[in-house]
Amino acid sequence: MVLSHAASAGSSDDSVHSTFASRYVRASLPRFRMPENSIPKEAAYQIINDELMLDGNPRLNLASFVTTWMEPECNKLMMDSINKNYVDMDEYPVTTELQNRCVNMIAHLFNAPLGETETAVGVGTVGSSEAIMLAGLAFKRRWQNKMKAAGKPCDKPNIVTGANVQVTWEKFARYFEVELKEVKLSEGYYVMDPEKAVEMVDENTICVAAILGSTLNGEFEDVKMLNDLLVKKNEETGWDTPIHVDAASGGFIAPFLYPELEWDFRLPLVKSINVSGHKYGLVYAGIGWCIWRSKEDLPDELIFHINYLGADQPTFTLNFSKGSSQVIAQYYQLIRLGFEVLLIDFVDNCQENAMVLKEGLERTGRFNIVSKDQGVPLVAFSLKDSSRHDEFEISEFLRRFGWIVPAYTMPPDAQHVTVLRVVIREDFSRTFAERLVIDIEKVLHELDALPSRSSGPALQHPNGDTVSEKDLARQREVVSVWKRAVAARKKTQGVC
């Protein structure tokens, strides 16, 4: 949900104009009130289409992990099912069956301990945000039941995470009254330290949340070490503190690139995992998955049974009505690509393109690479010398070439570190990577010709052209506004 505002800043025009639609509509449309009369469908389309042209190009939005391209056949399946309400399981039993198949495929991918005839426990969600909420609620309820049975207070639950978690975890903590205990970061180590995390665990900890693919730099947290340390602490204290793995970005990466890496249900304390189908699951925005280790890890009292849609239907969701299209698209991608193609033609290719970009940035001699080779295919980097110009200016200048590359500061205690981040998706080709490096070099050359932020304006470029003082002031103001906007946000991570 995006909070709306009644008027745009600096705008006094409360009507919507359209050049091409004027052949159908002579009067301007009100901007914030429903018009009194209808307009032709052609005019409505043209008016909206004209405004949407001012949006950024999704293919060049390198800030987002979210899928921006799918095959035409999958697009057609989505459009053919766009009028199906996913919750009507009795009316659309095949869609429900496809969801169950996806749950089981993903559970096996995550090495869930299932027998030959045993079905997995999981649910499709509206992105990893809902999946995290559901997993958190399951942990909270299990902890409350255990504390009540022991005659102990259950009014002060907490979750231990790293300060690098996505903002959804903060939302869960605030919405459902759970204390969020964050392990601070440090320069050069931008993920949760397992040892520090286990030290923060107490009897009221409902779970420790580990991140498989940090939004900040793509790095995988050491879930294996966390599991081993927590097993030892549970044995010493008599507690049974579990682990949830937020694999929103890395869940469809690690099984293919790093099959020997232990992070999933192979570890006994991992009780649930979420993954975003709309990231490296290759589906348009609006699909996530939450998988539980076993039925015992999902309390029965959280599951509702309804019968007013035609049959008894168990449901465990925060959302009720939602479209079926993304579930169908997820099933298409899983059976269409299969394990081999996902490994060779997608995941490995993304990783190779990330290396092309990384090597190109290193050749400039101007950047430190903050991301790790093992992790989500992205490149996070920062300036070696930001005394004259900084990462926010690079981000702003790149927008003139169409690229959307976010610049942000790290969370505490590494907030003095600023980075740029490029997410490598399926539609980001080697040509794109090479082109981006060229454009970054152009930006660096332009910035080098501009005055330092802390010095007076130099009025000539190296080529002898005069630089307008007015243009310099405008450019500095743009960068200043951008920096203030970023600094005002408590979390700067991308969309979940």
Same domain, 137 and 275: yes
Final residue belonging to a domain, choices 336, 355, 384 = 336
Assigned domain for 252 exists: yes
Same domain, 254 and 112: yes
What range defines the domain where residue 434 resides?
346-448
CA-CA-CA-CA torsion for 159, 164, 167, 169, nearest 10 degrees?
Answer: -20
For the chain, the straight-line distance linking the first and the last C-alpha, in angstroms and rounded, comes to 13
Task: Look up the CATH number of the domain holding residue 376.
Answer: 3.90.1150.160
| Stretch (H or E) spanning 357 | helix 348-364
Same domain, 257 and 153: yes
CA distances (Å), origin 262, targets 183, 209, 224, 242: 22, 16, 6, 16
Assigned domain for 1 exists: no
157-213 pLDDT per residue, tens: 999 999 999 999 999 999 999 999 999 999 899 999 999 999 999 999 999 999 999
Same domain, 88 and 124: yes
Final residue belonging to a domain, choices 411, 432, 448 = 448
pLDDT at residue 469, rounded to an integer: 52
Same domain, 316 and 406: no
Number of domains observed in the structure of the chain: 2
Same domain, 363 and 401: yes
Determine which of 119-128, 396-405, 416-425, 455-464 has the lowest per-residue pLDDT on average. Answer: 455-464
Same domain, 179 and 261: yes
pLDDT at residue 452, rounded to an integer: 79
| Stretch (H or E) spanning 109 | helix 93-109
228-262 pLDDT per residue, tens: 999 999 999 999 999 999 999 999 999 999 999 99
Task: Look up the CATH number of the domain holding residue 156.
Answer: 3.40.640.10
Same domain, 82 and 217: yes
pLDDT at residue 461, rounded to an integer: 41
DSSP-assigned states of every residue in 175-200: HTT-EEEEEP-BTTB-S--HHHHHHH
pLDDT band at 433 (very low <50, low <70, confident <90, very high): very high
Give mean pLDDT, residues 460-474: 47
pLDDT at residue 474, rounded to an integer: 57
Helix, strand or coil, per DSSP, at residue 251: coil
pLDDT at residue 86, rounded to an integer: 84
Phi, psi of 163 (to 5 degrees): -65, -10
Interatomic CA distance for residues 422 and 486, integer angstroms? 17
Determine which of 11-15, 164-168, 427-431, 455-459 has the lowest per-residue pLDDT on average. Answer: 455-459
